[in-house]
Structures are given as structure tokens and as C-alpha cells.
Amino acid sequence: MKMFAMIVAIMFSSGTLFTGMPIAQIESFGAKVAQEDWKREFDNICSKTQDAMEFSAGELRNLIARCDALKPRIERLDEPQRKVTLKRLQMCRDLYVYLLEAKENQ
Amino acid sequence: MKAVAGWIAGFCSILAFVGAANGRDIPKPPEYGKVIIGNFSNRAGLAAVRFDHWLHRAFYTCRLCHVDIGFAMEANATKIDAETNIKGFYCGSCHNGIRVQGDRKIFASCSLSRTKEEDTRCSRCHSVGKNVRKEYNYTSFTEKLPKENLGNLIDWQEAESRELIRPVDFLPGISIARLPLDVQKDFRIKSKGWMPNVTFSHKEHALWNGCELCHPDIFASVKKGTVKYSMFQISGGQYCGLCHDRVAFPLYECQKCHTNPMSR
């Protein structure tokens, strides 16, 4: 038991607890995963602009809600990624709103 | 029918001359679509950038630059600076010294250092007021492309359909993979008075522009037929006039849009 506690203490003090990776690396890995996460969601939302005119009102509302949910995460990015991606996201959102309004105007 | 078309073409030519006579600037073909970009150039001790649409549109679709890369549709609204380009955004999306166009490596945008070699490279774009020898010359570049009457004197659509140009619509690392566009049918816009109706081709517009370039910023959602687009608004740069008369073929080529004199 004492031995185990000692090993944990050594790993903790050397910053390699549990994973064998330094804690700084774990943090940067986490940041990378978070980065890829917003990118994946952004790509997924905005990849549908070409065929969105076939979507139902419900599907368009869902896409608009996903744009709104993603926006605060994009706002936390560093410049110029933030500025460029926000504009692109806004263009996708605006198109979905446009198509929704067009459906309602029909 | 031919007589009507001829009469309209004649009328439009007169309009072009009247425009010129009234001091409205009709640019020379290589100047048509030229954009001067200079938000930060002076501060950096550089000349402003001369951006030629005729060159870039031969290689890339409008959508690629104005949607995927995020360039604004208005000159100097994007506020491009060297640091942004170096990080791989805006001009730096392609101008990074790595990306290739055809068999040529695309030269890198300006770096923050100012060696003589750097200055020469910077001058390729920061060329306003300078006598810079360009890699692509308008006359030789456009020599074999099909011609039209005004603007750049190039029929870009015909050039693409004959595969003389192949505008790229996907930039790895920047563009998002999308399904091919399922293009909507063409529709007719009724003209007021004596002009033939407009046949609007969704296909011709959407393949280069995508959907989000025009909707809703240029054409907002409205009930069909409730908004009247006047030529005054269009020639003032609204609606169709945001591209036509600036980069796409000019408004004086009436018969290219007003093509449908049939049943009103």
C-alpha cells in the first residue's frame, strides 16, 4: 500500500499521473480535442447549405439552433480564426433563416 | 425577333456611350473588376494592393473566395493585414508559398521582414503607383478566351463551358466538403414597359456563387413578386448590380439578361 502511494506521489510530482503523459501535454491534447470538436460541428452545419432548400422547416430550425449554440464557442477562438469563422457561420445561419422564411412565405 | 434584339443591343450601346459622356467611368478591359485594397498598406510603408478579378476568377469560383475564405463583397471591408495572411487566412489561404495553381507554386504573401527579396515579392500585389512586371499579362492571358463586348471583354461562362478555364471550387484545409448543388429551375422576372423579361438562370449563378453568397445579403427573403427591382437601384450597386457592372458583365449588355420577349 505504501509502495502504491509512493508511486502515485512520484507520478503526480513528475506531472505524469495515470496516463504516463506530462500534465501539460494532457492539457494541450484536451485543447486540441476541443478545437477539433468545434471544427467538426462547424463543418457539419455548413456542409448542408447546398441542399438546404430541400429541408423541412423543422430541419432548418434545428440547423439555426445549432448555429446559435456553436457561436459562443467560435467567439472564444483566437483571431483571425474567430473573425473568419464567425463570418462563415453567420452566412450559413442567414441562409437557413432565409430558406425558412421563404418556406413560410410560400 | 432579330430586329427587336438588334434594336435593344443598339439602345444599350447608346446607353453605354451616354454613360461615358456623362462622366461615368467605363474602365478599360484589364481594369474592369480591379479592386484597390489599402487598409494598412501605407502604415506598413507599402503601396496599396491592386487585385485583379479577371485573373483570380479564371482560377477560382466566386464562392471559394467570398464564402469559404471569407472575403467581403465590398472593397476594403475585409481589413486584411500581413499577419492574418501569414497565419493562412484571406490572401494567405493560397498565397503561402506552398499551394499550387496548375503547375505553378503560388507565391507567399508578404512576411514581416523587409529584405530586398521580400520587397520584390510584396510588390507583386502592393503595386499601385508602381511599374511592376506582372507574372500574368492581361493580353496574353485572355488571348484565347472567347470574347464579349464589354467589361473584361471575356465571355467567362463560354470559357468555362469550353474548358478553357476550370475554376477551382474546393480548397483543401479551408473548404467544407459539400454535396453537389441540386440547382433550382430558371425563372422569369417580368420587366416593366417595353423591355423583354429577364430569364434568371439559377444554374449559371449558383454553380459559381453557391447559395449563401446571394441569399439573404443581396436578395432577402420576400414573397414572390412583392419586390420590384428597378434599374436605378441595380445601377446604384444593389441587387444584380452588386456584381454586374463591377466584376460580372456590365449592365449595358441588356440583352444578356433581358432575353425573354415572349408572353408577358
C-alpha cell at A48: 448542408
Chosen for mutation from A50, A79, A90 (greatest number of chain B CBs closer than 10 Å) is A50
Q: How far is B125 from chain A (nearest CA, A)?
A: 21
Q: What is the pLDDT of residue B117?
A: 79
Residue of A nearest to B210 (CA): A50
Chain B residues with CB-CB distance to A105 below 8 A: 221-224
Q: What is the ipTM, given to two decimal places? A: 0.86
Q: Is the pLDDT of residue B211 over 60?
A: yes
Q: Give the Cβ contact number of residue B33 at 10 Å.
A: 20
Chain A residues with CB-CB distance to B215 below 8 A: 94-95, 98-99
Residue B90 touches chain A, beta carbons under 8 Å: yes
Q: How far is the C-alpha of B51 from the C-alpha of B124, rounded, in Å? A: 10
C-alpha cell at A57: 422547416
The string of pLDDT tens digits covering residues A12-65 is 555 555 555 565 565 565 666 666 799 999 999 999 998 898 999 999 999 999
Burial of A19-48, coded b for 16+ CB within 10 Å and e otherwise, reads: eeeeeeeeeeeeeeeeeeebeebbeebbeb
Residue A101 touches chain B, beta carbons under 8 Å: yes
Give the residue extent of every domain in chain A: 2-105
B12 or A75: which leads in pLDDT: A75
Q: Which of residues 165-184 of B touch A (CB under 8 A)?
A: 176-182, 184
Q: How far is the C-alpha of B163 from the C-alpha of A20, rounded, in Å? A: 56
For residue B216, whether the previous peptide bond is cis, meaning omega lies within 30 degrees of 0, is yes
pTM: 0.84
Q: Give the Cβ contact number of residue B72 at 10 Å.
A: 12
Q: How many CA atoms lie within 13 A of B196 on its CB side?
A: 21
B239 contacts B218 by C-beta, under 8 angstroms: yes
Q: What is the pLDDT of residue B21?
A: 47
Judged by CB atoms closer than 8 Å, whether chains meet at B220 and A94 is answered as no
Which of B235, B209, B196 lies closest to B157 in space, CA to CA?
A: B209
Judged by CB atoms closer than 8 Å, whether chains meet at A84 and B176 is answered as no
Q: Percentage of residues in chain B with pLDDT exceeding 90?
A: 60
Judged by CB atoms closer than 8 Å, whether chains meet at A50 and B180 is answered as yes
When pLDDT is averaged across residues B192-217 and rounded to a whole number, the result is 88
- Indicate the average pLDDT of chain B: 87
Contact partners, residue B22, CB within 8 Å, separation at least 6: none
Q: What is the pLDDT of residue B3?
A: 57
Domains in chain B, start-ordered, CATH in brackets? 2-28+179-256 (3.90.10.10), 32-142 (3.90.10.10)
Judged by CB atoms closer than 8 Å, whether chains meet at B217 and A87 is answered as no
